[in-house]
Amino acid sequence: MHPLLQPIDLRGLRCPNRVFMAPLTRQRAARPEGVVGELQAEHYAQRASFGLLISEATQISPEGKGYPRTPGIHDPAHVAGWKLVTDRVHAAGGRIFLQLWHVGRVSHPHHQPGGQAPVSCVAKASIAQISILHPDGRREMVPAGMPRALETHEMPRVVSDYAHAAANAKAAGFDGVEVHGANSYLINQFLSGSLNTRTDAWGGSIGNRLRLLLEATDAAAKAFGHARVGVRLSPMGSVKDLPIAPDDRDLMLRAAQELGDRGCAYLHLYNHHFGTAGWDGPFDRALAEGMKANFRGPVVLNGYARDVDAAVRDVRDGLGDAVAFGKLAISNPDLPERLRDGTALAEWNDQLFYGDGPAGYNDYPRALAAAV
């Protein structure tokens, strides 16, 4: 049997294979803004044979938004929309987690309630370019807005937003949630030793910088229990502008330990081209091995693009237990079956990653259908 097609148990949730669908922002929650519907229900149901589907990043609050047409999970309309998705996935035999997302400073006043400034751990702007969608449909890339630092008294409210979003995900029928602590977004900003220079209990030391991650995880667990809460981290560097600090490595090892002690469903590790090199530096194999050992539970690897052989190698070598594929999941809704049958993998069209409609989203054929 193909190594990625063996079943895996995520702290009690049995998945039929180790081919997971990575969280993929597609910017199609358009009518009304932030609400998913039949388009997304079809998309995820097409991929129900994956061991686990991890939803596109979904903002926990209006403040958490940083991209146009991204979905939310903070009001009843969002819950109703996502319930269409989970019902279809479950009817097709699948399992699906919702990724809980707050972008922090990777945003712009255009996306914020009342045009307010984005928030972060400190008042320092990201170098990211932010996509703005104008009423006439024109897209524009603009510099990220200058954030304001969250006040100490606001931090419990942010944690409460994670709890509220997880409770809504439960009501929407999800099997669990994934806390997004990676890729330079809010939790990653608090984790960063190069950015988080706060002098209160939410910054500075490793323990203080870990606080938002751990409290958000515990907040999500109020709805699901820790065994149905996964966590995504990017231990070898951000995809944008959080340079690695001297103690970030120790922080990541401790994060894995703390999350493992809680019995979280899985630890999801992002690294661009996992096993070769990250965006901000070389792949740290010892760190990957250390986090796996410290977590003492299922580790999901992500960042292989189309390199399935590298993914298989890293699972066989013990770096992880499952692999979350992104772009291959876009273009191969039947990826587990293709791996089983040795069928050629379809290429994706990156010009249609973002849009408004089924093109490049729900129109990738299954191998069997393509052969007919």
Is 266 assigned a catalytic role? no
- For 318-348, give one letter per residue: b (16+ CB within 10 A) or e: ebbbbbbbbbbbbbbbbbbbbbbeebeebeb
Whole-angstrom distance, CA of residue 69 vs CA of residue 36: 10
Secondary structure class of 8 (helix, strand, coil): strand
Give residue for tokens 């709805």.
223
- Tell me the two tokens of residue 275: 């096993």
Q: Considering just the CA atoms, what is the radius of gyration of the chain in Å? A: 19
Whole-angstrom distance, CA of residue 28 vs CA of residue 356: 5
Q: Which of 44, 67, 185, 364 is catalytic?
A: 185
Under 8 Å CB-to-CB from 86, ≥6 apart: which residues? 96, 172, 173, 174, 175
Half-sphere exposure of 25 (CA within 13 A, CB side): 18
Kindly list the distances between the CA atom of residue 231 and the CA atoms of 128, 141, 143, 188, 361, in Å, as whole numbers in the listed order: 23, 30, 29, 12, 26
Q: Are 117 and 124 in contact (CB under 8 A)?
A: no
Query: To the nearest 5 percent, what fractions of the chain are helix, strand and coil?
Result: 35, 15, 45
Enumerate the H helices of 16-154 as residue ranges.
Answer: 38-46, 76-91
Whole-angstrom distance, CA of residue 288 vs CA of residue 319: 6
Whole-angstrom distance, CA of residue 111 vs CA of residue 115: 7
* Residues annotated as catalytic (active site), given as ranges: 185
